[in-house]
Chain A
Amino acid sequence: MTNVGIQVKQISKHYRHKDALKGVSLNFAPGKIYGLLGRNGAGKSTLLNIIANRIFPSSGDITFDGVTLNNNDQALGQCYLMSEVNLYPDGDRLERLFKNTELFYGSFDYDYAHRLARKFELDLHQKFGKLSTGYRSIFKLIVALASPARYVFFDEPVLGLDANHRELFYRELVDNYAKTNRTFVISTHLIEEIAAMVEHVFIIKSGELIVDDEVEHLLSQGYLITGTKADVQVYCQGMKVLGHENLGSLYGCYVLLGDDTLPTPPANITTERLDLQRLFVQLTNIDEEELDA
Protein backbone atom coordinates (compact mmCIF):
# COMPACT_ATOMS: atom_id res chain seq x y z
CA MET A 1 0.00 0.00 0.00
CA THR A 2 1.74 3.21 -1.11
CA ASN A 3 0.87 6.89 -1.01
CA VAL A 4 -2.16 6.36 1.18
CA GLY A 5 -0.83 8.94 3.57
CA ILE A 6 -1.33 8.95 7.29
CA GLN A 7 -4.36 7.09 8.58
CA VAL A 8 -5.54 7.70 12.12
CA LYS A 9 -7.70 4.78 13.18
CA GLN A 10 -9.99 4.94 16.21
CA ILE A 11 -7.50 6.80 18.39
CA SER A 12 -8.51 7.31 22.01
CA LYS A 13 -6.49 8.85 24.78
CA HIS A 14 -7.58 8.71 28.39
CA TYR A 15 -5.96 10.69 31.16
CA ARG A 16 -6.79 10.18 34.80
CA HIS A 17 -9.61 12.72 34.89
CA LYS A 18 -10.33 13.26 31.24
CA ASP A 19 -10.91 11.56 27.90
CA ALA A 20 -8.75 13.71 25.63
CA LEU A 21 -9.64 11.82 22.45
CA LYS A 22 -12.58 9.53 21.83
CA GLY A 23 -12.18 7.17 18.89
CA VAL A 24 -10.88 9.72 16.37
CA SER A 25 -10.40 8.44 12.81
CA LEU A 26 -9.15 10.58 9.93
CA ASN A 27 -6.77 10.57 6.96
CA PHE A 28 -4.05 12.92 5.85
CA ALA A 29 -3.56 12.40 2.13
CA PRO A 30 -0.37 13.45 0.33
CA GLY A 31 -0.15 16.96 -1.14
CA LYS A 32 -2.81 18.88 0.74
CA ILE A 33 -3.07 21.65 3.31
CA TYR A 34 -5.23 20.67 6.25
CA GLY A 35 -6.63 22.72 9.08
CA LEU A 36 -7.02 20.98 12.42
CA LEU A 37 -9.32 23.13 14.48
CA GLY A 38 -10.78 22.93 17.94
CA ARG A 39 -11.21 24.98 21.05
CA ASN A 40 -8.69 24.95 23.91
CA GLY A 41 -8.42 21.45 25.36
CA ALA A 42 -10.33 19.87 22.46
CA GLY A 43 -7.54 17.32 21.89
CA LYS A 44 -5.68 18.77 18.85
CA SER A 45 -2.22 18.79 20.42
CA THR A 46 -2.79 15.36 21.92
CA LEU A 47 -3.65 14.01 18.48
CA LEU A 48 -0.59 15.61 16.86
CA ASN A 49 1.67 14.33 19.62
CA ILE A 50 0.33 10.82 19.11
CA ILE A 51 0.88 11.04 15.35
CA ALA A 52 4.48 12.17 15.94
CA ASN A 53 4.96 9.21 18.31
CA ARG A 54 5.75 11.55 21.23
CA ILE A 55 3.04 10.04 23.41
CA PHE A 56 1.05 6.83 23.17
CA PRO A 57 -2.65 6.44 22.49
CA SER A 58 -4.77 4.47 24.95
CA SER A 59 -6.19 2.58 21.98
CA GLY A 60 -6.21 2.74 18.20
CA ASP A 61 -3.46 2.79 15.61
CA ILE A 62 -1.78 5.16 13.20
CA THR A 63 -0.39 3.98 9.89
CA PHE A 64 1.83 5.63 7.34
CA ASP A 65 1.27 4.34 3.81
CA GLY A 66 -0.33 1.28 5.39
CA VAL A 67 2.47 0.50 7.86
CA THR A 68 2.23 1.25 11.57
CA LEU A 69 3.96 4.46 12.57
CA ASN A 70 5.05 3.34 16.03
CA ASN A 71 8.82 2.69 16.14
CA ASN A 72 8.92 3.04 12.36
CA ASP A 73 12.00 5.11 11.50
CA GLN A 74 11.18 5.35 7.84
CA ALA A 75 7.70 6.74 8.53
CA LEU A 76 8.75 8.99 11.40
CA GLY A 77 11.51 10.39 9.18
CA GLN A 78 8.78 11.61 6.82
CA CYS A 79 6.98 13.58 9.54
CA TYR A 80 7.94 16.77 11.34
CA LEU A 81 5.89 18.22 14.18
CA MET A 82 6.49 21.86 15.01
CA SER A 83 4.86 22.44 18.38
CA GLU A 84 4.81 24.85 21.30
CA VAL A 85 6.87 22.43 23.38
CA ASN A 86 10.59 23.05 23.05
CA LEU A 87 12.47 19.80 22.53
CA TYR A 88 15.76 21.29 21.34
CA PRO A 89 18.64 21.57 23.84
CA ASP A 90 18.92 25.12 25.20
CA GLY A 91 22.71 25.05 24.96
CA ASP A 92 22.95 24.23 21.24
CA ARG A 93 23.48 26.92 18.65
CA LEU A 94 20.91 27.18 15.85
CA GLU A 95 23.43 26.24 13.14
CA ARG A 96 24.22 23.04 15.02
CA LEU A 97 20.52 22.25 15.27
CA PHE A 98 20.25 22.64 11.49
CA LYS A 99 23.10 20.13 11.16
CA ASN A 100 21.35 17.73 13.51
CA THR A 101 18.17 17.98 11.43
CA GLU A 102 20.19 17.12 8.33
CA LEU A 103 21.88 14.24 10.14
CA PHE A 104 18.64 12.64 11.33
CA TYR A 105 16.38 13.42 8.35
CA GLY A 106 19.06 12.65 5.77
CA SER A 107 18.93 16.08 4.12
CA PHE A 108 18.20 19.72 4.85
CA ASP A 109 17.87 22.76 2.59
CA TYR A 110 20.51 25.04 4.12
CA ASP A 111 20.19 27.76 1.47
CA TYR A 112 16.47 27.99 2.00
CA ALA A 113 16.88 27.94 5.79
CA HIS A 114 19.45 30.76 5.64
CA ARG A 115 17.23 32.77 3.30
CA LEU A 116 14.31 32.37 5.69
CA ALA A 117 16.50 33.28 8.67
CA ARG A 118 17.48 36.52 6.91
CA LYS A 119 13.84 37.31 6.12
CA PHE A 120 12.79 36.69 9.70
CA GLU A 121 15.92 38.46 11.01
CA LEU A 122 16.98 35.44 13.02
CA ASP A 123 20.63 35.32 14.11
CA LEU A 124 21.73 31.71 13.60
CA HIS A 125 24.79 32.08 15.85
CA GLN A 126 22.58 32.28 18.93
CA LYS A 127 21.86 29.45 21.32
CA PHE A 128 18.32 28.08 21.24
CA GLY A 129 17.83 28.75 24.96
CA LYS A 130 18.57 32.45 24.48
CA LEU A 131 15.75 33.01 21.99
CA SER A 132 12.48 34.72 22.85
CA THR A 133 9.21 32.78 22.50
CA GLY A 134 8.57 34.36 19.11
CA TYR A 135 12.03 33.58 17.75
CA ARG A 136 11.85 30.01 19.05
CA SER A 137 8.68 29.64 16.99
CA ILE A 138 10.42 31.21 14.01
CA PHE A 139 13.39 28.86 14.31
CA LYS A 140 11.12 25.82 14.46
CA LEU A 141 9.10 27.11 11.48
CA ILE A 142 12.31 27.45 9.47
CA VAL A 143 13.38 23.91 10.36
CA ALA A 144 9.92 22.61 9.44
CA LEU A 145 9.94 24.33 6.06
CA ALA A 146 13.55 23.43 5.20
CA SER A 147 13.34 19.81 6.36
CA PRO A 148 12.64 17.09 3.80
CA ALA A 149 9.65 15.68 5.76
CA ARG A 150 6.69 14.94 3.47
CA TYR A 151 4.19 15.59 6.26
CA VAL A 152 4.66 18.73 8.29
CA PHE A 153 2.44 19.38 11.29
CA PHE A 154 2.18 22.84 12.81
CA ASP A 155 0.73 23.08 16.31
CA GLU A 156 0.12 26.77 17.06
CA PRO A 157 2.84 27.80 14.58
CA VAL A 158 2.55 31.55 15.05
CA LEU A 159 2.79 31.60 18.83
CA GLY A 160 4.52 34.85 19.82
CA LEU A 161 4.89 36.07 16.24
CA ASP A 162 3.97 39.66 15.33
CA ALA A 163 1.60 40.37 12.44
CA ASN A 164 4.43 40.94 9.94
CA HIS A 165 6.13 37.66 10.77
CA ARG A 166 2.82 35.81 10.67
CA GLU A 167 2.13 37.22 7.22
CA LEU A 168 5.62 36.26 6.09
CA PHE A 169 5.19 32.72 7.41
CA TYR A 170 1.87 32.20 5.61
CA ARG A 171 3.41 33.46 2.36
CA GLU A 172 6.39 31.14 2.70
CA LEU A 173 4.15 28.21 3.58
CA VAL A 174 2.03 28.64 0.45
CA ASP A 175 5.14 29.15 -1.65
CA ASN A 176 6.73 26.01 -0.19
CA TYR A 177 3.53 24.06 -0.81
CA ALA A 178 3.39 25.19 -4.43
CA LYS A 179 6.99 24.08 -4.98
CA THR A 180 7.08 20.83 -3.01
CA ASN A 181 3.43 19.66 -2.88
CA ARG A 182 4.02 18.34 0.62
CA THR A 183 1.25 17.87 3.15
CA PHE A 184 0.85 20.58 5.75
CA VAL A 185 -1.42 20.29 8.76
CA ILE A 186 -2.03 23.53 10.65
CA SER A 187 -3.57 23.57 14.09
CA THR A 188 -4.28 27.11 15.24
CA HIS A 189 -6.78 29.37 16.92
CA LEU A 190 -6.23 32.11 14.36
CA ILE A 191 -8.72 30.63 11.91
CA GLU A 192 -9.26 33.77 9.85
CA GLU A 193 -5.56 33.89 9.02
CA ILE A 194 -5.37 30.36 7.62
CA ALA A 195 -8.87 30.06 6.15
CA ALA A 196 -7.77 31.07 2.66
CA MET A 197 -5.02 28.48 2.36
CA VAL A 198 -6.62 25.43 3.98
CA GLU A 199 -8.18 22.89 1.60
CA HIS A 200 -9.60 20.40 4.07
CA VAL A 201 -10.66 20.92 7.63
CA PHE A 202 -10.99 18.70 10.67
CA ILE A 203 -12.82 20.08 13.68
CA ILE A 204 -12.46 18.39 17.03
CA LYS A 205 -14.88 19.10 19.86
CA SER A 206 -14.31 17.62 23.32
CA GLY A 207 -12.13 14.82 21.92
CA GLU A 208 -14.50 13.88 19.10
CA LEU A 209 -14.14 14.61 15.42
CA ILE A 210 -17.23 16.56 14.40
CA VAL A 211 -16.18 17.82 10.95
CA ASP A 212 -14.07 16.11 8.29
CA ASP A 213 -14.74 18.03 5.09
CA GLU A 214 -13.35 20.04 2.22
CA VAL A 215 -13.39 23.71 3.22
CA GLU A 216 -15.26 24.75 0.09
CA HIS A 217 -17.98 22.15 0.67
CA LEU A 218 -18.27 23.00 4.35
CA LEU A 219 -18.58 26.72 3.67
CA SER A 220 -21.27 26.10 1.07
CA GLN A 221 -23.43 24.66 3.86
CA GLY A 222 -23.19 27.31 6.57
CA TYR A 223 -25.59 30.27 6.51
CA LEU A 224 -26.76 33.06 8.75
CA ILE A 225 -30.48 33.66 8.30
CA THR A 226 -31.75 37.03 9.55
CA GLY A 227 -35.15 38.61 9.82
CA THR A 228 -37.85 38.91 12.44
CA LYS A 229 -37.82 36.08 14.93
CA ALA A 230 -41.13 34.62 13.75
CA ASP A 231 -40.17 34.73 10.06
CA VAL A 232 -36.74 33.23 10.67
CA GLN A 233 -38.13 30.42 12.79
CA VAL A 234 -40.64 29.53 10.11
CA TYR A 235 -38.01 29.67 7.36
CA CYS A 236 -35.51 27.56 9.31
CA GLN A 237 -37.93 24.76 10.09
CA GLY A 238 -36.37 21.41 9.20
CA MET A 239 -32.86 22.86 8.95
CA LYS A 240 -30.00 21.99 11.31
CA VAL A 241 -29.76 25.07 13.53
CA LEU A 242 -26.32 25.59 15.08
CA GLY A 243 -27.18 28.67 17.10
CA HIS A 244 -29.07 31.92 17.18
CA GLU A 245 -28.64 35.46 18.38
CA ASN A 246 -30.47 38.75 18.59
CA LEU A 247 -29.08 41.36 16.23
CA GLY A 248 -30.76 44.55 17.46
CA SER A 249 -34.38 44.32 16.39
CA LEU A 250 -33.54 41.38 14.15
CA TYR A 251 -33.07 37.75 14.93
CA GLY A 252 -30.26 35.66 13.44
CA CYS A 253 -30.12 31.94 13.06
CA TYR A 254 -26.99 29.96 12.10
CA VAL A 255 -27.78 26.88 10.05
CA LEU A 256 -25.86 24.01 8.48
CA LEU A 257 -27.63 22.65 5.42
CA GLY A 258 -26.13 19.24 4.91
CA ASP A 259 -26.35 18.37 1.22
CA ASP A 260 -29.62 20.25 0.69
CA THR A 261 -29.73 23.56 -1.10
CA LEU A 262 -31.01 26.69 0.58
CA PRO A 263 -34.67 27.33 -0.35
CA THR A 264 -35.30 30.69 -1.99
CA PRO A 265 -35.86 33.08 0.93
CA PRO A 266 -38.91 35.35 1.13
CA ALA A 267 -38.35 39.10 0.80
CA ASN A 268 -38.29 39.70 4.56
CA ILE A 269 -35.48 37.21 5.12
CA THR A 270 -31.82 37.73 4.28
CA THR A 271 -29.27 34.95 3.96
CA GLU A 272 -25.55 35.24 4.26
CA ARG A 273 -22.80 32.68 3.87
CA LEU A 274 -20.65 32.06 6.93
CA ASP A 275 -16.89 32.27 6.86
CA LEU A 276 -14.80 29.49 8.43
CA GLN A 277 -14.28 31.27 11.73
CA ARG A 278 -17.96 32.02 12.31
CA LEU A 279 -18.93 28.52 11.28
CA PHE A 280 -16.28 27.09 13.61
CA VAL A 281 -17.55 29.21 16.51
CA GLN A 282 -21.11 28.01 15.96
CA LEU A 283 -20.06 24.37 15.55
CA THR A 284 -17.96 24.33 18.68
CA ASN A 285 -20.10 26.49 20.98
CA ILE A 286 -21.12 24.67 24.09
CA ASP A 287 -24.90 24.22 24.05
CA GLU A 288 -26.80 25.81 26.89
CA GLU A 289 -28.40 22.42 27.51
CA GLU A 290 -24.91 20.90 27.83
CA LEU A 291 -23.98 23.59 30.37
CA ASP A 292 -27.16 23.00 32.34
CA ALA A 293 -26.46 19.27 32.32
Chain B
Amino acid sequence: MKSKTMRVTTYFFKRMLRQILYGLGVVLAIILFSWLLSNRDTEFFANFKIQFGALIGFFAMFVALTPYADFKLLIQNGVSRRTFWLGRTIALVVINLLGQILDMILGFFKIGTPVAENSAAWQLYGRFFQSASLNWLIWAVLVLVGSTVTVLLASVVGSCFSLLTKRVRRYVFLALAAAFFLGIRLIAMVMTGDAVVHFAIWLRNIIYFLIGGTPNVGAGHFNPTVPFISLLVLCSAALVASYYVTQQFKIKNE
Protein backbone atom coordinates (compact mmCIF):
# COMPACT_ATOMS: atom_id res chain seq x y z
CA MET B 1 0.00 0.00 0.00
CA LYS B 2 1.30 3.46 -0.93
CA SER B 3 2.30 5.63 2.01
CA LYS B 4 -0.39 8.23 1.25
CA THR B 5 -3.08 5.55 1.08
CA MET B 6 -1.78 4.19 4.37
CA ARG B 7 -1.93 7.64 5.97
CA VAL B 8 -5.46 8.26 4.68
CA THR B 9 -6.62 4.81 5.86
CA THR B 10 -5.10 5.40 9.30
CA TYR B 11 -6.80 8.79 9.49
CA PHE B 12 -10.19 7.32 8.61
CA PHE B 13 -9.71 4.40 10.97
CA LYS B 14 -8.99 6.67 13.93
CA ARG B 15 -11.71 9.18 13.06
CA MET B 16 -14.39 6.52 12.51
CA LEU B 17 -13.36 4.66 15.63
CA ARG B 18 -13.71 7.90 17.60
CA GLN B 19 -17.17 8.53 16.11
CA ILE B 20 -18.30 4.97 16.78
CA LEU B 21 -16.94 4.97 20.34
CA TYR B 22 -18.79 8.24 20.87
CA GLY B 23 -21.99 6.53 19.63
CA LEU B 24 -21.36 3.53 21.90
CA GLY B 25 -20.77 5.92 24.79
CA VAL B 26 -24.16 7.53 24.18
CA VAL B 27 -25.83 4.09 24.11
CA LEU B 28 -24.09 3.07 27.35
CA ALA B 29 -25.09 6.36 28.95
CA ILE B 30 -28.73 5.71 27.99
CA ILE B 31 -28.52 2.19 29.46
CA LEU B 32 -26.99 3.54 32.66
CA PHE B 33 -29.64 6.22 32.86
CA SER B 34 -32.36 3.58 32.39
CA TRP B 35 -30.80 1.53 35.19
CA LEU B 36 -30.81 4.56 37.47
CA LEU B 37 -34.45 5.22 36.58
CA SER B 38 -35.26 1.61 37.46
CA ASN B 39 -34.12 2.36 41.02
CA ARG B 40 -30.93 0.39 40.48
CA ASP B 41 -32.74 -2.85 39.94
CA THR B 42 -30.30 -5.68 40.71
CA GLU B 43 -31.87 -7.87 38.01
CA PHE B 44 -31.41 -5.15 35.37
CA PHE B 45 -27.98 -6.27 34.15
CA ALA B 46 -28.66 -9.98 34.72
CA ASN B 47 -31.27 -9.89 31.95
CA PHE B 48 -29.31 -7.43 29.87
CA LYS B 49 -27.76 -8.61 26.63
CA ILE B 50 -25.82 -6.37 24.31
CA GLN B 51 -24.22 -7.15 20.95
CA PHE B 52 -21.25 -4.86 20.53
CA GLY B 53 -20.60 -6.10 17.00
CA ALA B 54 -24.10 -5.28 15.86
CA LEU B 55 -23.88 -1.85 17.49
CA ILE B 56 -20.49 -1.16 15.91
CA GLY B 57 -21.87 -2.32 12.54
CA PHE B 58 -24.89 -0.06 13.04
CA PHE B 59 -22.75 3.00 13.78
CA ALA B 60 -20.34 2.11 10.95
CA MET B 61 -23.34 2.12 8.65
CA PHE B 62 -24.21 5.65 9.79
CA VAL B 63 -20.64 6.79 9.28
CA ALA B 64 -20.72 5.21 5.82
CA LEU B 65 -23.81 7.26 4.96
CA THR B 66 -22.01 10.60 5.29
CA PRO B 67 -18.92 10.71 3.08
CA TYR B 68 -19.11 14.32 1.87
CA ALA B 69 -17.64 16.00 4.97
CA ASP B 70 -14.63 13.68 4.76
CA PHE B 71 -14.29 14.32 1.05
CA LYS B 72 -14.21 18.10 1.62
CA LEU B 73 -11.37 17.81 4.12
CA LEU B 74 -9.34 15.42 2.01
CA ILE B 75 -9.65 17.31 -1.27
CA GLN B 76 -8.55 20.44 0.65
CA ASN B 77 -5.49 18.47 1.69
CA GLY B 78 -4.45 17.26 -1.74
CA VAL B 79 -5.84 13.73 -1.57
CA SER B 80 -7.28 12.24 -4.76
CA ARG B 81 -10.74 10.73 -5.01
CA ARG B 82 -9.24 7.29 -5.60
CA THR B 83 -7.18 7.37 -2.40
CA PHE B 84 -10.11 8.87 -0.49
CA TRP B 85 -12.34 6.00 -1.60
CA LEU B 86 -9.74 3.31 -0.91
CA GLY B 87 -8.79 4.60 2.54
CA ARG B 88 -12.38 5.13 3.60
CA THR B 89 -13.60 1.77 2.34
CA ILE B 90 -10.75 -0.15 3.98
CA ALA B 91 -11.29 1.64 7.30
CA LEU B 92 -15.05 1.02 7.22
CA VAL B 93 -14.72 -2.65 6.38
CA VAL B 94 -11.96 -3.27 8.92
CA ILE B 95 -13.85 -1.52 11.75
CA ASN B 96 -17.00 -3.45 10.94
CA LEU B 97 -15.14 -6.76 10.79
CA LEU B 98 -13.34 -6.04 14.06
CA GLY B 99 -16.72 -5.37 15.68
CA GLN B 100 -18.14 -8.64 14.41
CA ILE B 101 -15.05 -10.60 15.45
CA LEU B 102 -15.18 -8.97 18.89
CA ASP B 103 -18.77 -10.14 19.20
CA MET B 104 -17.80 -13.67 18.18
CA ILE B 105 -14.98 -13.77 20.71
CA LEU B 106 -17.23 -12.45 23.47
CA GLY B 107 -19.86 -15.00 22.46
CA PHE B 108 -17.29 -17.77 22.51
CA PHE B 109 -16.39 -16.89 26.09
CA LYS B 110 -20.12 -16.55 26.94
CA ILE B 111 -19.78 -12.83 27.64
CA GLY B 112 -22.79 -10.83 26.56
CA THR B 113 -25.10 -12.50 24.08
CA PRO B 114 -24.25 -16.00 22.77
CA VAL B 115 -24.08 -14.53 19.29
CA ALA B 116 -24.24 -17.57 17.03
CA GLU B 117 -27.35 -19.21 18.44
CA ASN B 118 -29.26 -15.95 18.37
CA SER B 119 -28.34 -14.89 14.87
CA ALA B 120 -30.54 -15.35 11.80
CA ALA B 121 -27.64 -16.93 9.88
CA TRP B 122 -27.25 -19.59 12.55
CA GLN B 123 -30.99 -20.27 12.59
CA LEU B 124 -30.90 -20.89 8.83
CA TYR B 125 -27.55 -22.65 8.23
CA GLY B 126 -26.31 -23.70 11.68
CA ARG B 127 -26.99 -27.41 11.16
CA PHE B 128 -26.29 -27.81 7.43
CA PHE B 129 -23.02 -29.71 7.88
CA GLN B 130 -22.46 -32.70 10.11
CA SER B 131 -19.43 -31.02 11.63
CA ALA B 132 -20.18 -28.42 14.30
CA SER B 133 -16.95 -26.53 13.64
CA LEU B 134 -17.70 -26.35 9.91
CA ASN B 135 -21.16 -25.00 10.69
CA TRP B 136 -19.59 -22.45 12.99
CA LEU B 137 -17.06 -21.46 10.31
CA ILE B 138 -19.74 -21.03 7.63
CA TRP B 139 -21.85 -19.00 10.03
CA ALA B 140 -18.89 -16.74 10.85
CA VAL B 141 -18.06 -16.21 7.15
CA LEU B 142 -21.70 -15.42 6.32
CA VAL B 143 -21.93 -12.92 9.18
CA LEU B 144 -18.67 -11.21 8.20
CA VAL B 145 -19.53 -11.00 4.50
CA GLY B 146 -23.14 -10.01 5.22
CA SER B 147 -22.21 -7.17 7.55
CA THR B 148 -19.55 -6.00 5.07
CA VAL B 149 -22.19 -5.87 2.33
CA THR B 150 -24.47 -3.81 4.61
CA VAL B 151 -21.75 -1.26 5.31
CA LEU B 152 -20.74 -1.06 1.63
CA LEU B 153 -24.35 -0.59 0.51
CA ALA B 154 -24.73 2.20 3.07
CA SER B 155 -21.61 3.75 1.58
CA VAL B 156 -23.12 3.59 -1.93
CA VAL B 157 -26.37 5.21 -0.73
CA GLY B 158 -24.46 7.91 1.20
CA SER B 159 -22.22 8.60 -1.80
CA CYS B 160 -25.21 8.92 -4.15
CA PHE B 161 -26.85 11.42 -1.80
CA SER B 162 -23.57 13.32 -1.54
CA LEU B 163 -23.80 14.12 -5.24
CA LEU B 164 -27.04 15.99 -4.68
CA THR B 165 -27.56 19.46 -3.29
CA LYS B 166 -29.47 19.85 -0.03
CA ARG B 167 -32.62 20.94 -1.83
CA VAL B 168 -32.53 18.07 -4.35
CA ARG B 169 -31.83 15.63 -1.52
CA ARG B 170 -35.05 16.78 0.20
CA TYR B 171 -37.01 16.32 -3.03
CA VAL B 172 -35.53 12.84 -3.52
CA PHE B 173 -36.54 11.80 0.01
CA LEU B 174 -40.08 13.01 -0.61
CA ALA B 175 -40.20 11.36 -4.04
CA LEU B 176 -38.95 8.04 -2.63
CA ALA B 177 -41.51 8.09 0.17
CA ALA B 178 -44.29 8.95 -2.27
CA ALA B 179 -43.14 6.28 -4.74
CA PHE B 180 -43.09 3.68 -1.96
CA PHE B 181 -46.66 4.33 -0.84
CA LEU B 182 -47.96 4.76 -4.38
CA GLY B 183 -46.20 1.54 -5.42
CA ILE B 184 -47.83 -0.44 -2.63
CA ARG B 185 -51.20 1.11 -3.44
CA LEU B 186 -50.74 0.31 -7.12
CA ILE B 187 -49.80 -3.33 -6.44
CA ALA B 188 -52.82 -3.66 -4.15
CA MET B 189 -55.09 -2.21 -6.85
CA VAL B 190 -53.74 -4.28 -9.72
CA MET B 191 -53.50 -7.58 -7.91
CA THR B 192 -56.61 -9.38 -6.95
CA GLY B 193 -57.49 -13.02 -6.40
CA ASP B 194 -55.17 -15.39 -8.29
CA ALA B 195 -52.68 -12.68 -9.14
CA VAL B 196 -51.96 -12.14 -5.45
CA VAL B 197 -51.43 -15.86 -4.92
CA HIS B 198 -49.14 -16.16 -7.96
CA PHE B 199 -47.16 -13.13 -6.87
CA ALA B 200 -46.81 -14.46 -3.33
CA ILE B 201 -45.59 -17.83 -4.60
CA TRP B 202 -43.13 -16.17 -6.96
CA LEU B 203 -41.84 -13.94 -4.17
CA ARG B 204 -41.55 -16.90 -1.78
CA ASN B 205 -39.58 -18.92 -4.36
CA ILE B 206 -37.22 -16.01 -4.99
CA ILE B 207 -36.63 -15.57 -1.29
CA TYR B 208 -36.11 -19.31 -0.79
CA PHE B 209 -33.63 -19.32 -3.68
CA LEU B 210 -31.70 -16.37 -2.30
CA ILE B 211 -31.45 -17.81 1.20
CA GLY B 212 -30.66 -21.30 -0.10
CA GLY B 213 -33.73 -23.12 1.22
CA THR B 214 -36.83 -24.99 0.08
CA PRO B 215 -40.23 -25.16 1.79
CA ASN B 216 -39.67 -28.80 2.81
CA VAL B 217 -36.24 -28.28 4.39
CA GLY B 218 -36.21 -27.26 8.01
CA ALA B 219 -34.53 -24.08 9.14
CA GLY B 220 -30.93 -24.65 10.11
CA HIS B 221 -30.42 -27.06 7.22
CA PHE B 222 -30.56 -24.47 4.44
CA ASN B 223 -27.74 -24.58 1.89
CA PRO B 224 -25.42 -21.58 2.38
CA THR B 225 -23.90 -21.75 -1.15
CA VAL B 226 -26.34 -19.46 -2.99
CA PRO B 227 -26.51 -16.79 -0.24
CA PHE B 228 -22.75 -16.85 0.04
CA ILE B 229 -22.32 -16.33 -3.71
CA SER B 230 -25.10 -13.68 -3.73
CA LEU B 231 -23.37 -11.80 -0.93
CA LEU B 232 -20.04 -11.91 -2.75
CA VAL B 233 -21.65 -10.61 -5.95
CA LEU B 234 -23.45 -7.89 -4.00
CA CYS B 235 -20.21 -6.99 -2.24
CA SER B 236 -18.36 -6.62 -5.56
CA ALA B 237 -21.22 -4.60 -7.06
CA ALA B 238 -21.30 -2.30 -4.02
CA LEU B 239 -17.53 -1.78 -4.25
CA VAL B 240 -17.70 -0.92 -7.95
CA ALA B 241 -20.71 1.35 -7.45
CA SER B 242 -19.22 3.24 -4.50
CA TYR B 243 -15.93 3.72 -6.41
CA TYR B 244 -17.75 5.01 -9.48
CA VAL B 245 -19.96 7.40 -7.50
CA THR B 246 -17.01 8.69 -5.45
CA GLN B 247 -15.19 9.57 -8.68
CA GLN B 248 -18.06 11.99 -9.44
CA PHE B 249 -17.72 13.88 -6.12
CA LYS B 250 -17.18 17.60 -6.39
CA ILE B 251 -17.28 20.58 -4.08
CA LYS B 252 -20.74 22.07 -3.94
CA ASN B 253 -21.63 25.73 -3.54
CA GLU B 254 -23.80 25.44 -0.43
Contact = CB atoms under 8 A, between A and B. Distances in A.
B250 A104 contact: no
Contacts of B72: 87-88
Contacts, number: 66
Contact of A54 (B2, B4, B75, B247): B75
Contact of B78 (A49, A56, A73): A73
B76 A105 contact: no
Contact of A55 (B8, B77, B250): B250
B4 A87 contact: no
Contact of A100 (B11, B69, B80, B250): B11
A73 B4 CA distance: 8
Contact of A49 (B73, B79, B251): B251
Nearest to A71: B80
A76 B3 CA distance: 15
Nearest to B75: A54
> What's the dominant secondary structure at chain A's contact region?
loop
Interface in A79-104: 79-81, 85, 87-89, 100-101, 103-104
Interface residues of A, number: 27
Contact of B7 (A85, A87, A104): A104
Interface residues of B, number: 24
B221 interface: no
Contact of A89 (B8, B69, B78, B79): B69
Contact of B74 (A55, A78, A81, A104): A104
Interface string B68-90: 01001111111111110000000
A81 B251 CA distance: 13
A87 B73 contact: yes
Interface string B31-59: 00000000000000000000000000000
Contacts of A149: 78
Interface of B: 2-4, 7-8, 10-11, 69, 72-83, 247, 250-251, 253
19 contacts: A49-B251, A53-B80, A54-B250, A54-B251, A55-B251, A56-B250, A71-B80, A73-B4, A77-B78, A80-B78, A88-B73, A88-B76, A101-B77, A103-B10, A104-B7, A104-B74, A104-B78, A105-B77, A106-B3
Given A53-B75, A54-B251, 16 more contacts: A55-B251, A73-B2, A73-B4, A73-B80, A85-B251, A87-B251, A88-B73, A89-B73, A100-B11, A103-B11, A104-B11, A104-B78, A104-B79, A105-B77, A105-B78, A149-B78
